[in-house]
């Protein structure tokens, strides 16, 4: 073969090797199912950001398409859909999966528990992620935290709450471990989506409810049907958002793409948290100034009762028949104790100092 013909033939072989079918075979198409309405301020936006970030950081080697709640499965069904392989990844909150294991709830929010930064610290530096992985592996999932809403609110109440007695028999929407705590205080707890909570408050089927905080709550219009907004939300001092990945989809990834997905998930945490804090603050101003919302402080008597009730819940978890739930509980309590010792000198001290009476130029 002449040299020119050989080069031409070799070039043709090279081009064939790089043909689009071969490239296409290396692209993984993931379906992300979300527990939220599409583009709901806060978690709905974060779900889309996660899908886009994995796609971008992988250089298109993983194409993630988002399906909002109800498009493939209802919001409460996303855990099972990914566990069973109907979808590859979901975006939701651990607080929704108490029926799977009470131990899961500690990864989401804990009444009078960890702040958002402390929660992330437990996962990254206190052994939390290893326990999180072990628990979710039971359900054929690989989990990562992907953000946090920061301090939530006690919620929207049709009537003023002045004492612990006012909670007896109250029909109240909440979720996670806060459901356990409020039930112990005689509250009739209901679990439902944010849009369903609006309808229930409007019809009188609910007396009160909490969802997230001012930004997301404003978008859902709760101020239109209940004008008393109570804080602080000690039932959820933070609320982690998460993704869960089908283990077969996860194990199918080469090591570099596993690192990409992990980086995409973990890189979400601080931007999501700081966006919530900023937009909650702006939304709260508008709720008071433009919509006549009355801000009320959660009675201390109720906070103390909630703390005692949470102590009972934690004792039940420590005595669980499930050894893994016991270990998760002990790990959480140990990390919380560490933070309780440190934070009065750190964040608490800074907040107290900031509230002293001095001229700061504003």
Residue 300 is labelled as binding a ligand = no
Residue 211 is labelled as binding a ligand = yes
Looking at the structure, tell me whether residues 34 and 58 fall in a common domain.
Answer: yes
Looking at the structure, tell me whether residues 202 and 316 fall in a common domain.
Answer: yes
- Domain span at residue 269 reads 27-151+238-277
**Model pLDDT, residue 362:** 82
Closest Cα to residue 112, out of 347, 325, 333, 272? 333
135: which residues sit within 8 A by CB, 6+ positions away?
Answer: 101, 103, 104, 107, 324, 328
Looking at the structure, tell me whether residues 114 and 214 fall in a common domain.
Answer: no
Looking at the structure, tell me whether residues 203 and 227 fall in a common domain.
Answer: yes
- DSSP of 282-350: HHHHHHHHHH-PEEEEPPHHHHHHHHHHHHHHHHHHHT-S-HHHHHHHHHHHHHHHHHHHHGGGTHHHH
Is residue 131 within a helix (H) or strand (E), and if so which, with residue range? helix 128-137
Is residue 120 within a helix (H) or strand (E), and if so which, with residue range? helix 116-125
Looking at the structure, tell me whether residues 227 and 245 fall in a common domain.
Answer: no
**Model pLDDT, residue 25:** 62
Looking at the structure, tell me whether residues 254 and 211 fall in a common domain.
Answer: no
- We report the CATH number of the domain holding residue 82 as 3.40.190.170
* pLDDT tens-place values along the chain, 362 residues long: 444 443 333 334 333 333 333 334 689 999 999 999 999 999 999 999 999 999 999 999 999 999 999 999 999 999 999 999 999 999 999 999 999 999 999 999 999 999 999 999 999 999 999 999 999 999 999 999 999 999 999 999 999 999 999 999 999 999 999 999 999 999 999 999 999 999 999 999 999 999 999 999 999 999 999 999 999 999 999 999 999 999 999 999 999 999 999 999 999 999 999 999 999 999 999 999 999 999 999 999 999 999 999 999 999 999 999 999 999 999 999 999 999 999 999 999 999 999 999 999 98
Looking at the structure, tell me whether residues 259 and 303 fall in a common domain.
Answer: no
Looking at the structure, tell me whether residues 147 and 173 fall in a common domain.
Answer: no
Residue 351 lies in a domain: no
Q: How many domains does the chain have?
A: 2
Residue 353 lies in a domain: no
The span from the CA of 59 to the CA of 14, in Å, is 22
Residue 354 lies in a domain: no
Side-chain-side CA neighbours of 52 within 13 Å: the count stands at 7
Looking at the structure, tell me whether residues 204 and 255 fall in a common domain.
Answer: no
Looking at the structure, tell me whether residues 215 and 138 fall in a common domain.
Answer: no
Residue 1 lies in a domain: no
Looking at the structure, tell me whether residues 296 and 252 fall in a common domain.
Answer: no
Residue 323 is labelled as binding a ligand = no
- We report the CATH number of the domain holding residue 194 as 3.40.190.10
Looking at the structure, tell me whether residues 261 and 125 fall in a common domain.
Answer: yes
In percent, the amount of the chain with pLDDT more than 70 equals: 93
- For the record, the structure tokens of 348 come out as 């608490």
pLDDT digits (tens, 9 = 90+) for 301-332: 999 999 999 999 999 999 999 999 999 999 99
**Model pLDDT, residue 91:** 98
List the strands of the sheet with 208-209, edge to edge: 188-190, 171-173, 208-209, 155-157, 228-231, 294-297
Residue 3 lies in a domain: no
């Amino acid at each position: 073969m002449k040299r020119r013909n050989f080069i031409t033939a070799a070039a043709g072989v090279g081009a064939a090797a790089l043909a689009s079918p071969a490239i296409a075979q290396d692209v993984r198409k993931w379906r992300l199912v979300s527990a939220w309405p599409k583009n709901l301020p806060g978690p709905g936006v974060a779900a889309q950001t996660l899908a886009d970030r994995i796609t971008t950081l992988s250089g298109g080697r993983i194409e993630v398409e988002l399906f909002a709640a109800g498009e493939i499965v209802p919001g409460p069904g996303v855990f099972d859909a990914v566990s069973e392989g109907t979808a590859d990844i979901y975006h939701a909150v651990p607080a929704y999966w108490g029926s799977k294991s009470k131990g899961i709830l500690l990864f989401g929010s804990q009444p009078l528990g960890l702040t958002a930064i402390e929660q992330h610290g437990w996962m990254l530096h206190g052994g939390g992620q290893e326990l999180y992985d072990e628990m979710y592996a039971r359900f054929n999932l690989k989990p990562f935290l992907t953000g946090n809403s920061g301090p939530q609110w006690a919620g929207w109440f049709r009537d003023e709450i002045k004492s612990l007695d006012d909670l007896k028999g109250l029909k109240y929407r909440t979720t996670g471990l806060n459901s356990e705590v409020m039930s112990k205080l005689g509250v009739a707890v209901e679990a439902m989506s944010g849009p369903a909570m609006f309808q229930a408050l409007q019809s009188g089927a609910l007396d009160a409810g909490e969802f997230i905080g001012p930004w997301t709550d404003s978008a859902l219009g709760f101020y239109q049907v209940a004008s008393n907004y109570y804080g602080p939300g000690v039932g959820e001092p933070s609320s982690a958002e998460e993704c869960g990945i089908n283990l077969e989809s996860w194990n199918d990834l080469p090591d570099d793409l596993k690192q990409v997905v992990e980086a995409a998930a973990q890189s979400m945490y601080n931007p999501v948290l700081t966006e919530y804090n900023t937009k909650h603050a702006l939304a709260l101003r508008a709720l008071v100034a433009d919509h006549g919302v009355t801000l009320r402080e959660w009675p201390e008597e109720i906070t103390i009762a909630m703390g005692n009730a949470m102590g009972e819940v934690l004792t039940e978890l420590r005595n669980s028949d499930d050894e893994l739930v016991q270990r998760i509980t002990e790990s959480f309590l140990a990390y919380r104790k560490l933070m309780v010792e440190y934070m009065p000198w750190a964040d608490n001290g800074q907040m107290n100092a900031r509230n002293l009476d001095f001229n700061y130029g504003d």
